[in-house]
Structure 1
Amino acid sequence: MGVQGLWGYADQRPEFFRDVKLTNTKIIIDGNNFYFQFYHNSSLDERHGGDYDLYVEALKRFFQTLSDCNIQPYVVLDGCCNHTDQKLETTKLRAKGHIKSAHDLSMGREGRLLPLLTRNVFIQVLSKLGVPLVQCLLEADKEIAALANQWSCPVLSTDTDFCIFDLKGGFCPLTQFKWENASQGRIPARCYFIENVCANFNGMNKDLLPLFAVINSNDYSDMKVMYRFYRHVASSSHMSAYRGKKQAIIHSLLTWLSPFQDLKVAIENVLNVLPVSDREEVREYLSSQMQVYKIPERNLSGFFISGSSTTDDIQLRSLVPRWTLAALEKAQLPKTVVDLLVLQRVFLIPQVENSMRLNAHTCALPIRRAFYGMILNRRRHSSVSGPSGDGVEAVTCVVEEYGRENANLTMSHVEAAPPHSAKGISLEEIEKVRTLFGISSGFIWCFLWSCFHALWLPLARCLQMFLEILGVSSSTVEEVPRHLVLPVYVTHFWLIHSDPRPSLQHLQAILVGIAHGSAASPGLALQELRTSRQQPLDRDAAHIFSQWQATLQISLHLNQLLCRPLEEPEVSRLYSGSLVHAVFRRLNLSTPPKVLLSGSAFEIFEVLLRAVQAAIPNIFFSPLVHSYPCNSHFINK
């Protein structure tokens, strides 16, 4: 992500920036970068699984400040990693880094890890606040640059790729966007302009910056052959002037390139330093990778103004069904859908858990299999010729799933297996439900559709599929508020499939957190309980709660795929990691839940507990011997 070492270099060069006070303007927000960096910059807990409620409060303050300054944000999210597979190795390296961070945090060491449901929370907040949002099918950098230039406004991000794009309104690093210091309707900021960079290198041709970025190695690059070139351009004076070797190389490379006014001439001079046998391969590589920084003529303004599609990629359009395309662009479906349709590959997001146990995502594997099967259902059938002529044969679809084993990145093949009730159903048929009733359909439509048969796939059948996949019954949730039905189903599935099996205190801690977040007046007592970051982490508790989050995440995605037969809950009201861990500690000290909750919060807790316990055997929480890595001992209970 970005040009390696460039921010450390640019941050030492104030002449690359202009001081501005932003007001009365649009601003394009690099969504993926923003929700990641904003969580970390808000000094929120990362060890206990995410303080989503505090994250939401910080986001609301941020966007309210923009509104007070008459700054209109437009958020652009990335989609699929890259449908050409160019970034697979980079994605693997990044996943390995996240696994290491998760392990370090679990062991009490320092680390940075974005909690699992942060993206879900971010999208829900934007929707509630009415902030314009688009989710691109592929990487969004070029789309962001094109839109910003269409509207001549700045880009907000920390991705140094935006130091290479020629942005009319400049690139505003999030660290230089002092929104908390807003005054008199203006936000002080520093914006980076490539004109300033070029002016400081003797009027350097700005068209050379993409060449600089590729040589310097961006996300796609494997430039081992360029080491010889680095040695050629490196200056000992620059090495002593800059704190890091990378920054010295950056300065030397810009200095070396600056005399060339023609891009082709510059490329030839780069190639002349290399062995003849490598030149053509490197030439093709440089030419193709510089396209990363070519701003397209078409931009996203049409989507925000009239809802027009975001992509002209013919190959992508052939792989992604029409209704899926529209739902993805509105972020009404997770970007995982594109990875599945295009690559049949998924990277599971690491969490802070016990690395000696099975990946916490293993708990939700049955749901993922069904989710994958629903998406790839159409591909499970192929026409074959038999003795009688034509025939249809079901074929197995397999998804490459990257996850954690111990503290290592591993890949396994997961069979995509749609539920029995989805037999013969494709995404195109689900489209008809979405077209008729929109994205916010709920139980009422299930009731209406159950009254008669029609050519359209009944939404009641979507609910049937959801219940079948999670192995739950609608009869257990009659008392539960509609917006908490999905979390109750998730909690039931988690109890049955989690390993180690949750105790009654684990269950109560989850439900106390949900009740506290859902109550109109939850009181202040629980807020004072939040676990201190200095306390040792209960790794098994973290592992069990991570399994609940993994189950919730894929259940939310499944519900979205099925046109939301269940009302989607606000994730930030369901789980707050430091709070849930603190409640669990208190419950283990024999503190009853009634002491921790009061009024309507305790009433909600009782309703939730009755609904969950009604679906499990009475002896479920009896003492038992836990298996260590395998959960087969209770799957059949």
Structure 2
Amino acid sequence: MGIRGLMSFVEDHSNEFFIGLKLRDTKIVIDGYALFHRLCFTSNLELRCGGDYDSFADVVQKFFESLFACNICPYVILDGGCDISDKKLATIKDRAREKIQMAHSLSVGGSGYVCPLLIREVFIQVLIKLQVPFVQCFSEADRDIMTLANHWNCPVLSSDSDFCIFDLKAGFCPLNSFQWRHMNTVKGTRNYIPAKCFSLEAFCHHFSNMNKALLPLFAVLCGNDHINLPIMETFLSKARLPLGATSSKGRRHHRVLGLLNWLSHFANPTEALDNVLKYLPKKDRENVKELLCCCMEEYQQSQVKLQDFFQCGTYVCPDALNLGLPEWVLVALAKGQLSPFISDALVLKRTILHTQVENMQQPNAHRLSQPIRQIIYGLLLNASPHLEKTSGNALPSRPLAFSEVERINKNIKTSIVDAIELPKDHSDLSKLTELSLRRRQMLLLETLKVKQTILEPIPAALKLPIAVSCYWLQHTESKAKLHHLQSLLLAMLVGPLITIINSPGNVDPVPGQAQCLAAR
């Protein structure tokens, strides 16, 4: 989520709305999505050639090393799939279009910010390596982050302006003022990271001591990822919102300032909402009220208790539970072993194929792996009878159909792809993990169109990369040349060699980490 113009507004008033912190000796709840994007885009990484993953992994490790050195115990919360209601679909598509334009710019030597496709997986690998506790939520994580941080009375680290709206007991620290690269290590003093914490009290005080319960209404009126009602422009044009005393800086925040000043005159959200509706046609009022109230709920406490996951390794998500998904799927999603791609396919029968930097005149690279995805969709069929009722993308005339949002040239298109029907022993998702290892390996090799005999002389660690390379060679539209194969083989060998060189013994990779682990 995110509220248009709010973050730049509060940053313009940082002296009024933020408190300086020397962060140490605390838990901190981290918005994983915001963090890996921030580290990817502010670390001078190469974004044009498929992913500078080694350098990114080093940056992530250094970030957490800084936290451990200050006895800050991080808990990383990752977004899951799209919300069951699918109310963010329009926003997702808009962002996909923006990414395509940036990817095109990067592909022709220009500027832009597009995460390489595997950046999230690399981020998770580093978390596992460093034993940083993390969980992947079933859908969007913001409310769960807020609820967990309030349970532990610790700050949230993010770059999402919605955390200026949430009522956080220990506050919200924006990533752009979290100076982990400039950790204080003065001899004779305890290490700390300089940071700034947003003060909700100071923010409300600035606007005539407005009731903080009005802020969710401000968020939905201003416009966030969940709501963008054209009819609200009617209200904004008629209400004559008071701007108050504005500087030249303030002029670019007319809507933010006007709404906050206007709302500050009301005692509570009910009174303010009634006054909003007065400006709308009578026939629209009830529907708009229902929608606004629904969106305001997104800023309330979540029912999910993520602390249970960090204490017991499992937690209850009512939305996921109501879908009747197999237990092993829920556990694998929570542990990040299955990506949000899987939950989107399960719940919505629709997936988002993320854009990467490539030749925009050519078919997107995801086309190459479509046969693999069709097998995955086949495995996910008949996961639960409850899913048939929730999937708004299901086509009654095509029960095997899944939707894929993909790049076509420099735009997006929703394509329909049919799942591959699989043998009966694969048709029950709840029992998929009960298949023998041999049968699972056979299914994998059949999917990749590779014979077992080809892989027999290959070392175990290289069997999968070689099998995937064989699949690529069979499906690529342009003929692979010798230097392509040499590059692949070199990449496969360099990683293990570097590991051998850099790991002569079992050395603790992160000094000071044990202290945090003991504190959990």
Per the normalisation by structure 2, the TM-score is 0.89
* Count of residues paired in the alignment: 484
Q: Deviations over 1:326-358 (max 9, x none)?
A: 111111111111111110000101111111111
- Fraction of identical pairs, as percent: 42
Q: Deviations over 1:286-329 (max 9, x none)?
A: 11110010113542111111123240226x53242221011111
SS of residue matched to 2:301: coil
C-alpha displacement of 1:160: 0.6
1:426 matched to which residue of 2? 428
Contact residue 419 and residue 465 of structure 1 kept, 8 A:
no
2:494 matched to which residue of 1? 516
Partner AA of 1:261 in structure 2: A
Q: 1:230 aligns with which of 236, 244, 264?
A: 236
SS of residue matched to 1:28: strand
Q: Deviations over 1:208-263 (max 9, x none)?
A: 00000000001011222122332324446666633553x12101211111122222
1:13 aligns to 2:20 (yes or no): no
Aligned pairs (5 A) from 1:45-84: 45-84=46-85
Structure exhibiting the larger radius of gyration computed from Cα positions: 1
C-alpha displacement of 1:405: 1.1
Q: 1:415 aligns with which of 415, 418, 427?
A: 418
SS of residue matched to 1:165: coil
Within 2, Cα distance between the matches of 1:279 and 1:395? Answer: 38
1:399 aligns to 2:377 (yes or no): no
Aligned pairs (5 A) from 1:207-606: 207-231=213-237, 232-235=239-242, 241-242=248-249, 245=252, 247-296=253-302, 298-313=304-319, 316-376=321-381, 396-419=399-422, 423-432=425-434, 457-520=435-498
C-alpha displacement of 1:505: 1.0
2:508 matched to which residue of 1? none
Partner AA of 1:92 in structure 2: K
* CA RMSD in angstroms, aligned pairs only: 2.1
Q: Deviations over 1:527-557 (max 9, x none)?
A: xxxxxxxxxxxxxxxxxxxxxxxxxxxxxxx
C-alpha displacement of 1:279: 2.1
Q: Residue 469 and residue 96 in structure 1: after superposition, are their counterparts in 2 closer, same or farther (change >3 A)?
A: same
1:191 matched to which residue of 2? 197
SS of residue matched to 2:314: coil
Contact residue 241 and residue 248 of structure 1 kept, 8 A:
no
Q: Deviations over 1:455-503 (max 9, x none)?
A: xx21110001001100112323344332222111111111111121221
Q: Residue 54 and residue 91 in structure 1: after superposition, are their counterparts in 2 closer, same or farther (change >3 A)?
A: same
Q: Residue 115 and residue 238 in structure 1: after superposition, are their counterparts in 2 closer, same or farther (change >3 A)?
A: farther
Unaligned runs of at least 5 residues, structure 1: 381-393, 433-456, 525-637
Q: Deviations over 1:59-100 (max 9, x none)?
A: 110111111100011011111111112111111111111122
Q: Residue 403 and residue 512 in structure 1: after superposition, are their counterparts in 2 closer, same or farther (change >3 A)?
A: same
Contact residue 319 and residue 342 of structure 1 kept, 8 A:
no
Contact residue 234 and residue 280 of structure 2 kept, 8 A:
yes
Q: Residue 491 and residue 244 in structure 1: after superposition, are their counterparts in 2 closer, same or farther (change >3 A)?
A: farther
C-alpha displacement of 1:401: 0.7
SS of residue matched to 1:517: helix
Q: Residue 30 and residue 310 in structure 1: after superposition, are their counterparts in 2 closer, same or farther (change >3 A)?
A: farther
Contact residue 22 and residue 186 of structure 1 kept, 8 A:
yes
1:4 aligns to 2:7 (yes or no): no
SS of residue matched to 1:373: helix
1:121 aligns to 2:128 (yes or no): no
Unaligned runs of at least 5 residues, structure 2: 186-190, 386-396, 503-520
Contact residue 45 and residue 55 of structure 2 kept, 8 A:
yes
Q: Deviations over 1:382-434 (max 9, x none)?
A: xxxxxxxxxxxx984111011111111011111111455x65542221233xx
Q: Residue 196 and residue 359 in structure 1: after superposition, are their counterparts in 2 closer, same or farther (change >3 A)?
A: same
Contact residue 400 and residue 413 of structure 1 kept, 8 A:
yes
2:167 matched to which residue of 1? 166
SS of residue matched to 2:343: helix
Q: Deviations over 1:537-582 (max 9, x none)?
A: xxxxxxxxxxxxxxxxxxxxxxxxxxxxxxxxxxxxxxxxxxxxxx
Within 2, Cα distance between the matches of 1:521 and 1:154? Answer: 36
